[in-house]
Structures are given as C-alpha cells and as structure tokens.
Amino acid sequence: MQEINISDKNFEQCQKCSLCETVCPVMANNPAYAGPKRSGPDSERYRLKNGIFFEDSLKYCMNGKRCEVACPSGVKIADLIQQARIKFSTASPKLRDAMLASTDLMGPLASGFAPIVNISLGLAPVKGVLDATIGLDHRRTLPKYSSRTFTSWFRKHAAALQDSFPRHISYYHGCYANYNYPQLAKDFTAVMNAFGYGVHLIEGERCCGVAKIANGMTEAAVRDAKANINAFRKATATGRDIVTVSTTCTMTLLEEYPELLKVDNSDVKSRIKLFEPFVFEAISSGIVKPVWKEGFKAKVAYHSPCHQERLGWGIFTIELLKMIPGLELIELGSNCCGMAGTYGFKKENFKVSQKIGEPLFNEIRSVAPDYVACECETCKWQIEMSAGVSVKNPVSILAEALDLEKTSELNRA
Amino acid sequence: MIKFDVIVIGGGLAGMTAATAIQQAGLSCAVIRAGLSLSNPSRDDFVKAGGRIIFDKVCDGVFDGSVLRGVHTGKLGATLLEARVFVLATGKFFSMGLAADMDRVYETVFGLDTEYEEDRSKWFGASFSAEQPFLGFGVKTQDGLALKGGEPVKNLRPAGEILAGISNAGGDASETIRNSALDAAKSIIELCRK
Amino acid sequence: MANREFDVIIIGGGITGAGTARDCALRGLKTLLVERDDIASGATGRNHGLLHSGARYAVKDAESARECISENKILRKIAANCVEDTGGLFITLPEDEDSGYGLDYQKTFVEACLDAGIQARIISPEEALRMEPSVNPRLIGAVAVPDGSVDPFRLCSANVVDARMHGAEVLTYTFLDSFIIENGAVTGVRLLDRRSGVVSEYRAAVTVNAAGIWGQAVAAKAGISIGMYPAKGALLVFGHRVNNVVINRCRKSADGDILVPGDSVCVIGTTSTKIPFEECDDMRVTPGEVRLLLREGCSLCPSLSSTRILRAYAGVRPLVASDSDPTGRSISRGIVCLDHESRDGVKGLVTITGGKLMTYRLMAEKATDAVCRKLGLDRPCETAVTPLPGSGDGRIEAVSRRFSGKPTAGQKAAAGRHGDLTGRIRFDSPDDGALVCECENVTLAEIRYAVKELGVTNLEDLRRRTRVGMGTCQGSFCIRKAAAALAEALGDPSLADKLAAEYLEERWKGMVPAGWGDTLREMEFMQRVYKTGKPYSYDD
C-alpha cells in the first residue's frame, strides 16, 4: 500500500547520518555555514511549518552538490537549499551580484569595449575601486573579455560551411565561450567538423541562468530557462542533438530547470549532451574515427569539477583522454576548487574560496602536470590564478591531439 | 560501453576490500557506489593501484541467460558498464542493498532471491536491546554465487552485509565482512586467471 | 518534613488533573497534584493534538459541539503558544455519495454546525485545494471550519507551571498506594514514591480522581465501582507536515478520518477498539491498524502514501458507562463528574472523567466547582479568562525578536515551544546555543531550562517538553548527546547510558509497527549507532 518513499527532493529519505557534512567544502572552511544536513533536510521540516525558520546563512552554500553525490539516501540536499533560497530569501541582489549574474548582459557590453575593459580590470586602482564599491575582491584575477564574440566570428567565418557535413549537431556555447574565451568554441567547431559534424548555433540561445539562480534573480533565470527550452525544441525538431561544453551550464539545463525553476525540460532532456560523453559514445560505437597526431606528448592532470561529479560523466572524459596516444593522465583527487561560479568573486567569500581550493592547488603543484584538464570555466580561473598551472578544456586538448585534417578526411563520408 | 575485468557494486567495507584485492592482483576493477557508506573505508590503495570509483547508482543488469553481462546506472544512461565478473556489496537496508515494504524484503538491483521472515511480526526482537532478526536478512547464495529465480547467476558474487546472516549493526562484524569480501575476491582472481 | 496537609489532592497528571490543579490553585486552594509517571504521559500525550472546532460532533452530539467551539475560542486566548490556527476542512469524496454521506449530508452537517455556533462555510473543491494543496484532488465538496492544532504536552505543562506558580505542589513518579478512609470519608492518601520506595501520608478534605482510564482502579481503592471501557485509539506520525490545514472527512465519524498538522509532523488517526484493562499500560499498534490508518489517510491526502511513517502510537479513551444503564451498553462521551458522597456515600472524593482534551478546562472547572462545594467555598472560576504562562504573545515571530542579534534556529524553535516564557531560557555561556537534537532544533540551553524549571528527570520527560528525539531520526543521531547533556544537567553524568537505553526502548516500540522502507533503514542505523558504539568512521 505504501510506495517507496518519495518526498519532494527525497528529503524524507534523509537518515541524519551526516555523511554529507564530511564532503561539504564550505562547512569545513566557514563556521557561519551550518552545513548541508542542517541547511537542507533538517531545516526543511521546520520551513514547512513556518518560513521564519529560513536562515540567511543558506547563502554560503556554493551549490557544488558534492553533498548530493555523497548522500547514500539520494537526498537532493543542495536543491533543497537552493529551493529554500528561492522561496524565502528576501535579500534583493546587490549591484555587484546582478553584474556577476548577468553574464549575457555584461558580456556584450564588455566585449564591445574589451581592450579598455580588460586593461582597466587588470589595473590595481580599478580593482581597488571595484573591491571597495561593489565588493569584487581585489586579489582576484578577473576573467578577460574577448573583443570579438564567438558568434560573430562563427557567422562570418564558419557558418556557411556547416551544411556540407554528413552529420549535424546544435551547439549550446554558453556565455563564457562566447564572450570570454571564443577559442574554446572555435576548438569545438574544429573538432566537431573534423568528426564530420556540422555545427549549428541555436536560434535564441540565452545564458543558462545558473549565476542568476545563485544570486537570487530567479525570475530572470526562469525567463532564460523558458527561452532556452523553446529554442531547444525548435533545434531538436530538425533532428539534431544539442551539444554543450560547460558542465555547469549542462547541469543547469538538465537538472536545475525542472528541480529549481520548475521549467519542464522533459521533452528535450535526453537530447542535451555534454561534449565528452557525446564524442566518447560516437568513437566507441564506431560512428566517428579519430586520427591522432604523431608525437603528441603531454602530462595532464584531470580535475573533475563539482558539477561534473554531480552529472557523473567524468568517466567519459577520462576514457576519452585515455584514448590519446602520448597523453599521460593523472586523475586528481575529488576536491572542490573553491570558485563555484560567481561565489569566489565576492569579497566576503574570497578567503574561504581560497582555503577550500588549497588541497587541490597543492595536489596540482605536487603532480606538476603540463596542464590541467577540466570541463569547467570557473575552475579554470581559480586554478590558473591559485595553482599557477594552465587549464584546458578537453575540447581544446582534443583539438591539439587530433590530426584534424586526416580525421576530417576519414569522417567526411 | 565501457568494459572492466571486474565491477564491484558498493563501496563500503566489503566492496572496497574486494575491489582493492582484485585491482592489486592486476585485474581492472571499477567500484560503482551510490554515495558514501557508514564504514567509509580508505579508497587510497585501490585508487593507487589504478582502480576506478564511479559515484552512481546501479539501476539494472543485462543478462545473457544466467550470466550478467553488464549494468546500467542512473547517470550513464544507455552506456552499459560491462565486466567478466561482478561483486555485489550493496549492504543491507541503510545502504539500500535491500529494501522492505510492508510485506516483503527484496534485493534492489537485480531482484535476487532473498532470505527473510515472511511474517512481519518476526522481523524485530522484543525490545531495542534484543537481537533483531531483520538484521540477518539477505540474499541467498549457492557456492558463493547469487541466486535469481532459484538459479545461480554464474558471475555474480555477493559479499559483506548483503548476505543473509552478516550484519555490522548488531555488533562489530568487520572481520566477518572483510573475510567474505576476500573470499569473493580470491575466487574471482582465480577465475579470471584461468 | 514538608507539610502534608492540603485542601485538595488531585490524582492524575494528565491534562484533566493538571487543569484541575491549576483551577484549584487559582481559586486559592492548597493543592497537591499526584502523577504516577510524568505529566501528560497517558492519553493526554497520545492523541491527535486536534483543536476541535466541534464540527465533528455537530450532527450527533450538539452539546459536545457547543462545548468544543466554546473551549476552542477560550484556548486560543489563554494558550496562544500551544495552539496553532491552521483552520480545518471537512471533505466529501465521490465514494461518500454511495454510503449516504454525499453533498446532501454536507448540508445537514453545515446546518448542525451553524446551530451549534460553529462558523462552517461551504467552499468549492478548487478553493479547498488552494487552501490545502495536499488534499485529495478527487474531492467533490468541502466545508471550512475553525479547527486548529494544539500541543497537548505544552498545554499540560503550562497548566502545571501555572498551578505551581500559584502555590500547588506537584509530585510525579508517585503512585497512589491507598486512600486514607476514616468514618466513611476519604481524608487523605498514602503515596508511594516510585524512586525511593517510601510510602507517605498526605491529607486533604477532598481528593479528586482525575486518572483517566486508570480512574476505575483509583475508585476501586476507595471501594467504589465505576464502569469504564478502555477504547484504544491508534495513530501514525509522518515525517513532515504534509498538510498545513486539518483535514477531516465529512461523514459519520469513523477510523482514520482526521489528519492534523502538529509542529514539524502530521498525524493521522484514529481507531477505536475496546481493549482489556491489562493492555492499557503497554499498547502496541497492530499491522491491521497501520494498514487501516494508512488507507484512510491516503484518501484524505494521497501524498501520505509516499511519506515516511516515523512511528505509531496509541492512547486510551476513558469511556464511562452511564450510571442509569447498568448493562454498560449506553456509553456517555460527555464529561462525567461524580460526587461519590451522593453517588456512593463516600465523602471527600470526586471523580472527573469522560470528556476530551478539548474540554479539559471545562472538566477542571466542573471538578473544582464540586471541590469548592464540598469545602463550602464560593469562589468563581477564572481559568477561562486568565492566560496560561507562555501565552502572552506566543507567536514565534514576537518571541524570537527578544533575543539579541538574529535568533538562531534553536532559539526560534524554543520560542515556538515555550511562548513568552522563552526569555527564561538563558543563552549566556558559549555552549548554550549548541544544538543537541538537530531534527527538532533543541539546544543545550533548552535542556538546562527544562531540568531547572519544568521538572524533567529522564529523556521521555524531556521529549514531552522539548521534542528532543521526536524528529526524523527518532534519536538515532542525537540521543547519546542528549543523554549526556541531561545527565549533566541533572548533576550525575554517570546516568547518561541508562537514560539513553530507556529512551531508545520507547522509540523502538513506536518504530516497529512502521518498520519498513526508510523507517527500517533508520532502525538499522539506530542499532548500529548504539550496538557497535560507532556510527561510522572517516578514514579518508
């Protein structure tokens, strides 16, 4: 008569074992945070009774979801916390948070003035002013903006060629690859083209909204989510899968939309695919054939970002990288870098953010790789700044390791 | 499809003990575990030996007759994880190797044959401090192999608390659990070397 | 040696006895309250915690309905911190049409409510769903009534605290050994201190038997026979509040037709089974009762089928055979106040029984009136207008505002439990704010307060006053901590293991009937934590 217990976000399944607390990177470093069990399932029971039990300290949750990975009971702990923030937080986002969160608004603005913005963001006095006025930590190396967005490059140089390929995908590039680091998107296009896939932009693509969720701009995030899902419906109707490169965007599109924003993605969910599993499956099922460069050599340390841990697809990245001859792969321990999107940018979080990342930085230094492989852009900022080792997305590693011309020839048919 | 020599389902004391022995014997081994476990044994030796830990929940198995070919997980979708031999070390109720509803006790991953009291009133001792029969429930085995529908699954070896009669909750049983894992590992290593 | 002369001795520390003690004390009587266990440990603490509007009784028993709505209004005023104004719904389901309780009955129901002075309002199924989204969406009709929830532990405790504040003495864990009977009159009692084993005499002109179902045995000690029938009522506690509005079924009262949200949980009940007296002290909920409650609960609120049952428990209603019907077939559910002088020729003894949690104050008033009559005093009852301690402004919002800085979860939860007495909980030393029970937000400070001012001697007592161990884990995670804290506050740290062991037995008893699914997982965890001595180890 009784079904297997399924409460919203499985919070009733919590056994109070507290294993989640042992993996929470914030709890270990910030005494003001009560931890995942307290902030999530424990308090949820009381919040159901009375909203007064909402605690302001929930804002310290980085939403890395390591607690969910650790939970032996399948409780969506971080979702519970984020959901409570959405429902109860009355704090309106500060100017800084709104700026950090509106990656799609700031992107086009900054890209237009990229040289000026980049220089001024790098100058000590400007950083001092940003620190004092809006609370962006002055010690932080700020991400640069590209003077030309990926999409404008793509339309001019690549779009026309795409129809000639035998297979096709829609590419969700996200804000970072478009505004900050178009090279990643260009690498993506090159690799996919070499594998015989035509790359197509998604008409009406918007920011995934993750930073808006984190900064309390839920309504704006819902608008983004609805627009994206509509755009995906049109794109998938042409028979193309949607391929993504950022683990955080991907997790947001797949999980946060239905769980937190209550935006239904069920009809397109199975069509949204992260680059690494997509390519791994294509290669291992023989749909595409890679030709690797002769003499490629690199010592690479793989850092699995928190949201990749949550998605559980790190195994594909590892298997994919292991296919590359000459690539020595070291898997780093499972540790958070401390950045967590916009979290580490904030003055009040800077110290905690660095402390959280320390075990990872130390491990990277001791391994001393040529570079770190990682699917997440904000991990990249943090690791490059704090461990002093460059970080490459596996997309870019493939672009380097593949003999693109020979691969193209082999996969044209 | 991703293939290993051995897949261990469950990363508690039994799972990690078996996996470490198997990996150290030179076989390729993956541990698939849904979350952390209460015993939370060290993963260092296993990882150092090149073992792979996958945090995921095994949902079902693909069988060729009485042989388990591979397993599907919650996060990997259609990708089948294959192995020659599997160890089932998912533990009892807390770790969700077993589940109970009002009338029955079942094994959660493959629907293996289980041993339990049918009369619910016999699941519990007379008091908290008494011995608790439900802690003795578990899967049935024959020559170390799991039974499904009365027939042994030829390459599926349960180890640790998923077995009937072994529990770490009524008193410290780590030694028994470790031994059952090492037994399973030993026979698997021998089998794979043949 | 303490003075053992009183005006009145009250046997039974449930809500009726506590209320009577308070009333007597407020009327200036020198009062002794005696309880064989802890306060609220019998039927008082084993019911729904429903603040009846009276609607349930309106059709069949107008008098009870009127009493309920009148007491409902009084309790909202005098016990604000014990009451939650949730509102209530009486829903009609399609299948009720077939059994003769369809929308025609709804009309009869509403008329009867209005006649009794209960504000009942027919609302559309859509409005009912807006008011309470968890209600069965198949409903075809709904009536909104002023039901609420009331915390019986707190209510009982507040009455005891107030009685004490007005000079009453309270003896818990004290058993009535025998009456002192002189010249055909009860002139006192011999009480057995269950801890020391010492029997002492206490004297009073009047003794009140307010022992609930145990009242039959109490009366028998004075050679008096009262025909009582123990009716067991079983209930299930769910892991969280599925509903925020009381949900009832709009039909003839039946098993499992009320779902009440109370504090951090909700409770479905109840059943009604006559049981032999021997079972009253050790009631177990049967699998049949669990199934029945679950089935009926799911028709009120379908999501119960996928919500964890924390535990099951049962209480005994003291049903009293009407004196005018010696066969015992006709049973009165109303308040029964027996003056044994006129009834049985035994002076100095009054029995107050029947009734229900809702009407405890009225029962206490009637009993105290009888006591005053016997003492030849004419003193008016004030309990209907004098607020109980803690009731001032009992809203969590108001109380928690008084803490310096932002109140913590522990302070807010304490405010919800102790109302405006919360200020007496001292958060001075750094460890005072430390959480002991994380499910129910119980702090060290609250435990220390409960020991100092609320007469707590063991973890069960503590649970009734603070909710310690009543949450999701049922003590698996926190009882060791709680036992250590309590033992220390009691001044004997060596008690800790014994306290924890006793408490776990009680928790276990309630979990067994619900022992499957996640509750069974919790039971394995609990066994592991306490039998291996270590819940888990963190090697890496």
What are the pLDDT digits (tens) for C363-417? 999 999 999 999 999 999 999 999 999 887 656 777 777 777 788 999 999 988 9
Neighboring chain C residues of A53 at a CB cutoff of 8 Å: 409, 412-413
For the segment A207-219, the average pLDDT, to the nearest whole number, is 91
For chain A, the straight-line distance linking the first and the last C-alpha, in angstroms and rounded, comes to 56
Question: Between C441, C476, C516, which is nearest A46 by CB?
Answer: C441
pLDDT tens by residue, B63-113: 999 999 999 999 999 999 999 999 999 999 999 999 999 889 999 999 999
Domain A298-401: give its CATH architecture.
3-Layer(aba) Sandwich (3.40)
Angle between helical axes of A182-194 and A394-401 (0-180°, round to 10): 50
Q: What is the pLDDT of residues A256-296, one digit of tens each?
A: 999 999 999 999 999 999 999 999 999 999 999 999 999 99
Confidence (pLDDT) at A3? 60
Out of A4, A15, A312, closest to residue B55 by CB: A312
pLDDT digits (tens, 9 = 90+) for C116-128: 999 999 999 999 9
Interchain pair C472, A53: CB under 8 A: no
* The CATH number of domain A8-88 is 1.10.1060.10: yes
C315 SS3 class: strand
> With contacts defined as CB-CB under 8 Å, which chain B residues touch A284?
1-2
pLDDT-derived band at C333, boundaries 50, 70, 90 = low
Please, which pLDDT band fits residue C329 given cuts at 50, 70 and 90? Answer: low
Using the predicted structure, report yes or no on whether residue C418 has a pLDDT greater than 60. Answer: yes
- Domain count for chain B, please give it: 1
Contact residues on chain A for B35, CB-CB shorter than 8 A = 19, 69-74
- Average model confidence (pLDDT) across chain C: 92
Buried b vs exposed e over C463-491: b needs ≥16 C-beta within 10 Å? bbbbbbbbbbbbbbbbbbbbbbbbbbbee
Q: Is the pLDDT of residue A147 over 90?
A: no
The Cα B167–Cα B173 span in angstroms is 6
pLDDT per residue as tens digits for the range A94-146:
777 877 777 777 777 776 677 677 777 667 767 677 777 777 787 777 777 88
pLDDT higher than 50, residue A70: yes
Chain C contact for A54 (CB, 8 A cutoff): no
Q: What is the mean pLDDT of residues A20-45?
A: 94
pLDDT at C540 exceeding the cut of 60: no
Residue C1 is predicted with a pLDDT of: 43
Closest approach of chain C CAs to the CA of B100, in angstroms?
A: 5
ipTM of the complex: 0.97
Interface contact flag, B93 C515, Cβ < 8 Å: no
Residues of C in contact with A46 (CB under 8 A): 264, 409, 413, 441
Q: Treating both helix axes as pointing N-terminal to C-terminal, what angle do A404-411 and A182-194 enclose, rounded to 10 degrees?
A: 40
- Per-residue confidence (pLDDT) for residue A190, from 0 to 100: 97
pLDDT confidence band for A199 (50 / 70 / 90):
very high
> Rounded to an integer, what distance in angstroms lies between the CA atom of residue C505 and that of residue C511?
10
The percent of chain C in helix, strand and coil, each rounded to the nearest 5, is 40, 25, 35
Residue A53 in contact with partner chain C when CB distance is under 8 A: yes
- Report residue C513: phi and psi, to 5°: -60, -25
User: For the segment C132-185, what is each residue's pLDDT rounded down to a tens digit?
Assistant: 999 999 999 999 999 999 999 999 999 999 999 999 999 999 999 999 999 999
Burial of residue A79 (number of CB atoms within 10 Å: 0-12, 13-18, 19+) = buried
pLDDT score recorded for residue C423: 86
B168 CB burial (10 A radius; 0-12, 13-18, 19+): buried
Chain B / chain C CB contacts < 8 angstroms: 80
Q: Which of A6, A11, A37 sits opposite C306 (nearest CB)?
A: A6
The confidence score (pLDDT) of residue A61 equals 93
- What Cα–Cα distance (Å) separates residue B194 from each residue in A9, B7, B21, B188, C136? 47, 18, 17, 10, 62
Q: What is the mean pLDDT of residues A160-180?
A: 94
CB contact under 8 A, B94 and C525: yes
Per-residue pLDDT band at C456 (split at 50, 70, 90): very high
Does any CB of chain A come closer than 8 Å to the CB of residue C471?
yes
Supply the pLDDT for residue C331.
63
B47 interface with C at CB cutoff 8 Å: no
CB A372 within 8 A of CB A364: yes
Which of C497, C511, C527, C537 is the best mutation test for B, with the most CBs of B within 10 A? C527
Strands A298-302 vs A327-331: parallel, antiparallel or unpaired: parallel
Q: Confidence class of residue A2 from pLDDT cuts 50, 70 and 90?
A: low
The model's pLDDT over C357-371, given as tens digits with 9 standing for 90+, comes to: 999 999 999 999 999
Give the minimum alpha-carbon distance from A71 to chain B in angstroms, rounded to a whole number.
5
Whether B172 and chain C come into contact, CB under 8 Å, resolves to yes
How far is B13 from B10, CA to CA, in rounded Å? 9
In the structure, what pLDDT confidence band is assigned to residue C538 with cuts at 50, 70 and 90? very low
- H-type alpha helices, C222-331: 287-300
A132-136, B35-39, C45-49: the lowest-pLDDT one: A132-136
B32 strand-pairing partners:
B9, B54
A5 pLDDT above the threshold of 60 = no
Q: How many Cβ pairs within 8 Å bridge chains A and B?
A: 58
pLDDT in tens, A297-340: 999 999 999 999 999 999 999 999 999 999 999 999 889 999 88
pLDDT > 70? residue C485: yes
Average per-residue pLDDT for chain A: 91
From C290, C508, C525, residue closest to B127, measured CB to CB: C508
Tell me if A15 and C412 make a contact (CB, 8 A cut-off).
no
From first CA to last CA, the distance across chain B in angstroms is: 25
Q: Is residue C537 scored above 60 in pLDDT?
A: no
- Ordered DSSP codes for chain B: -EEEEEEEE--SHHHHHHHHHHHHTT--EEEEESS--SS----HHHHHTT-EEEE--EEEEEEETTEEEEEEETTTTT--EEEEEEEE---STTTTSEEE-SS-EEETTT---EE--SSGGGSS-SSTTS--GGGG-EE-EETTEEEETTEE-TTEEE-GGGBTT--SSSS--HHHHHHHHHHHHHHHHHHHH-
- Secondary structure (DSSP) of A217-260: -HHHHHHHHHHHHHHHHHHHHTTPEEEE--HHHHHIIIIIHHHT
- Does residue C2 surpass a pLDDT of 90? no
Rounded to the nearest angstrom, the minimum Cα separation between C210 and chain A is 34
Residues of chain A with CATH 1.10.1060.10: 8-88
**Mutation choice for B interface testing from A315, A320, A367 by most B CBs within 10 A:** A315
Q: Is the pLDDT of residue C90 over 80?
A: yes
In the chain, the amino acid numbered B191 is L
Query: Would the CB atoms of B55 and A281 count as touching at under 8 Å?
Result: no
User: Cβ of B95 and A22 within 8 Å?
Assistant: no
CB distance C518–A73 less than 8 Å?
yes
| pLDDT for C403 | 73
CA C409/CA C417 separation, integer angstroms: 12
Give the residue from C337, C479, C503, C377 showing the smallest Cα distance to C27.
Answer: C377
CATH at B45:
3.50.50.60
Cβ separation C416–A50 shorter than 8 A: yes
CB distance A315–B52 less than 8 Å? yes
> What's the whole-number mean pLDDT along residues C29-44?
96
Mean pLDDT over B172-183 rounds to 94
* CA-based nearest residue in chain C for residue A18: C477
Q: Is A18's Cβ below 8 Å from some Cβ in B?
A: no
Instruction: Return the partners of chain B (3 or more C-beta pairs < 8 Å).
Output: A, C
In B, which residues are within 8 Å of A71 by CB distance?
Answer: 35-36
Domain range for B47 is: 2-193
At residue A106, the pLDDT reads 72
Tokens of A199: 């790359």
Contacts of B102 in chain C (CB under 8 A): 287, 290-291, 516
Which DSSP category does A292 fall into? B
Cis bond upstream, residue C270 (ω within 30): yes
For residue B40, give the nearest of C520, C527, C538 by CB distance: C538
Query: N- to C-terminal Cα distance for chain C?
Result: 61
What residue ranges define each of the domains in chain C, with the CATH number in brackets?
5-43+153-227+328-375 (3.50.50.60), 83-148+229-318 (3.30.9.10), 396-531 (no CATH)
pLDDT of residue C394: 57
Taking residues C214-241, what's their average pLDDT?
94
Query: C540 touching B, CB under 8 A?
Result: yes
- What is the rounded distance in angstroms from the CA atom of residue C62 to the CA atom of residue C177? 40
Per the listing, tokens 């929470």 go with: A24
C26, containing H or E segment: helix C15-26
